[in-house]
Structure 1
């Protein structure tokens, strides 16, 4: 493939030839590569394809067959009841994105009042909790209050299969310029890499060909020495530790002090990073993979749910980068919006000292899959995984919206796309 007149690195306009899935030649400014052009870039930017460094792909694909019941989707108790009664009577209802601000705390009896005698299961916005009503429990031969914390693997055996249109998800990602995805499930199901192989993007599965994911919860938090032992047990593989509270981060840093950090070790989310821990993170050489868009998407709920002492420490970006901490981002979809451009805008538009410049925000999604804080560049010999924009880089940075993506290439081939 020969692509003419594209802007590389926001500077010179060049021709690019792709052979065997890699960039074979780059014609310097004014030097026209021989051959007939397959595509005219018209002076628009050619960027490394975006990589979503933290996403849950099967849950995201299942979202299309689910009812959304988050604060932005339904209005109060009546709206939740109407949403849960959609579809033919007797069929299972899978609802996602719930937060207590919609209708308070749920259990089986609350869902019985709202949904009637149809099997209903509702997932909390965090992905940590499922709540089932009595009809669903009876269908599975289960009992109790219907609340299941971190039990997705066990529950899967009792629920009907959910259709997963992964090719559609791949096209949706391509429309946003995404060429790579890191699946961040803590315990990937058997056969998951084969299932995800239908995606046109390059996929990294944590725990298989990526870092080993370690999930922490405050209620079951191990002592630092125990976490350090778990880290040593998987060495030399890197580890990605889920940290969404102050105490989880502290235990993680103590464990890495004990076990020693290796290249590729990561803090996932870094939801609350007190300022005094930033030099510690930098000393250990950890990468932070964060979600700056949560400050926008969950701002109203954070105003009441988050301890006032923690609010200034949420989803840091600039302070980490200035301290030399490699920073990258993932959407955490479906538990966050699946749009890396929206995450970039959130990183730029946020109030206070954590805001990034547009080019810095773009770099959150252009790092290497195995080293998210290390930028990728397009050069001779690099994989031909890139996105062609409709405009020069300067104009794209003014808006930071997926509308600027014209075409996405993986392994030198255009990926069909739609939103």
Structure 2
């Protein structure tokens, strides 16, 4: 489909833009509508590239939309809707099977901790997935019986659960619609260790997708540094080196000071490759900033709004001033990309812009919207995109000129998105 946008703002001036399936075909004044399948009168609103979320988890975000929100307490599991399983998300507490048995005695139940790294199962759920309960990530009591706590078990748990492919496809379709309403036309999925059926499933979405967890892709390879069980330096260095030998950068999960220091040591030993990323960089002491030059940091400003009170009470006081840095890294010349980490952080990129500007924790790390917003216009490799002939066809039309939108960023300023060829841009690499 070819769409002609008239009376839109591009780079501060009014013009027309013709978008076709192969890319933006023309930008100019009074473009002819010949051959266009659709005409959109922009009414003076800004036409920008479709936004890119640089770090989220598609399957988990889609599933969260139909799960019990346990962020205010596990008692909400008692009122879970009917169904063969109960699925909860966002739990603050870490509990065992006995606690969950008392809350959900009659159905298998699984609850994800808000950190995303821990699943908690009741006894019925443990029995249902018992063949998968092997290895050190299954916590056991002194008698060797699983307690119900499973660490970093997403892919293994997914494989052990009953097939719900139709429901999953529907929830993903609903999520894509939500992303489009927010102005997002492409994402980087940061879920590690994806199997071939999951890669195929995500590749069928009408969305630009880069997969860090595709074992056969060329995008940065996701490496999960487990906060509760840090690897030794030699093992992590080997992982980095193996990815680099395949000409793949790495994208390393770092949410603690210790994980970041370990990762930087591994990168020093293995050598760095253009495109290497630090995912989260949730704690960056000032003395470490210079060592991040040459890497890209993918941060999540929205976390600071969603979890302010928890961070104040749970984070080491010595780390509070160094949480999710943005301004200091930007000033030090470290490329920073903004993202959501949905479902663990708020999906709305406009909320993320407000959080980057107005954050209460470590306020010296605030950045103007004019600094954070352009990171959403970069592609999965961090390259800037713009509205110009020959550029990618995914575009977002705002209700107002861009300067007005950036003064008061909000999702309701997104009028529509158009992406005539989303499947052609789906890839697992750069």
Alignment TM-score, normalising by the size of structure 1: 0.89
Equivalent position of 1:254 in the other structure: 265
1:43-98 Cα deviation digits (max 9, x unpaired)? 11011111011111111111233111113xx4xxxxx334334233x831011110
Equivalent position of 2:358 in the other structure: 349
Matches within 5 A, 1:10-409: 11-27=12-28, 31-35=29-33, 38-71=39-72, 74=73, 80-88=74-82, 91-100=84-93, 105-141=94-130, 143-162=145-164, 163-164=167-168, 165-208=171-214, 209=217, 210-235=219-244, 236-282=247-293, 285-351=294-360, 352-371=363-382, 374-409=383-418
The verdict on how the C-alpha distance between 1:234 and 1:412 changes in structure 2, with shifts beyond 3 A counting, is closer
Name stretches of at least 5 consecutive residues in structure 2 with no aligned partner: 134-144, 423-430
CA contact (8 A) 1:293 1:346 kept: yes
The verdict on how the C-alpha distance between 1:322 and 1:12 changes in structure 2, with shifts beyond 3 A counting, is same
Equivalent position of 1:416 in the other structure: none
1:131-156 Cα deviation digits (max 9, x unpaired)? 11122223344652111111223223
Moved over 4 A (4+): none
Provide the alpha-carbon RMSD of the alignment.
1.8
The verdict on how the C-alpha distance between 1:64 and 1:161 changes in structure 2, with shifts beyond 3 A counting, is farther
1:370, distance to aligned residue in structure 2 (A): 1.5
CA contact (8 A) 1:345 1:361 kept: no
* Secondary structure in 1 matching 2:365: coil
Name stretches of at least 5 consecutive residues in structure 1 with no aligned partner: 75-79, 414-419
- Tell me how far apart the structure 2 counterparts of residues 258 and 148 of structure 1 sit (CA, whole Å): 32
- Tell me how far apart the structure 1 counterparts of residues 185 and 67 of structure 2 sit (CA, whole Å): 26
1:345, distance to aligned residue in structure 2 (A): 0.9
Alignment TM-score, normalising by the size of structure 2: 0.87
- Tell me how far apart the structure 2 counterparts of residues 7 and 400 of structure 1 sit (CA, whole Å): 17
1:33, distance to aligned residue in structure 2 (A): 2.0
CA contact (8 A) 1:81 1:115 kept: no
- Tell me how far apart the structure 1 counterparts of residues 338 and 303 of structure 2 sit (CA, whole Å): 11
1:412, distance to aligned residue in structure 2 (A): 6.5
CA contact (8 A) 1:67 1:84 kept: no
1:223, distance to aligned residue in structure 2 (A): 2.9
* Secondary structure in 2 matching 1:145: strand
- Tell me how far apart the structure 1 counterparts of residues 338 and 149 of structure 2 sit (CA, whole Å): 31
- Tell me how far apart the structure 2 counterparts of residues 39 and 157 of structure 1 sit (CA, whole Å): 45
* Secondary structure in 1 matching 2:155: helix
CA contact (8 A) 2:300 2:341 kept: yes
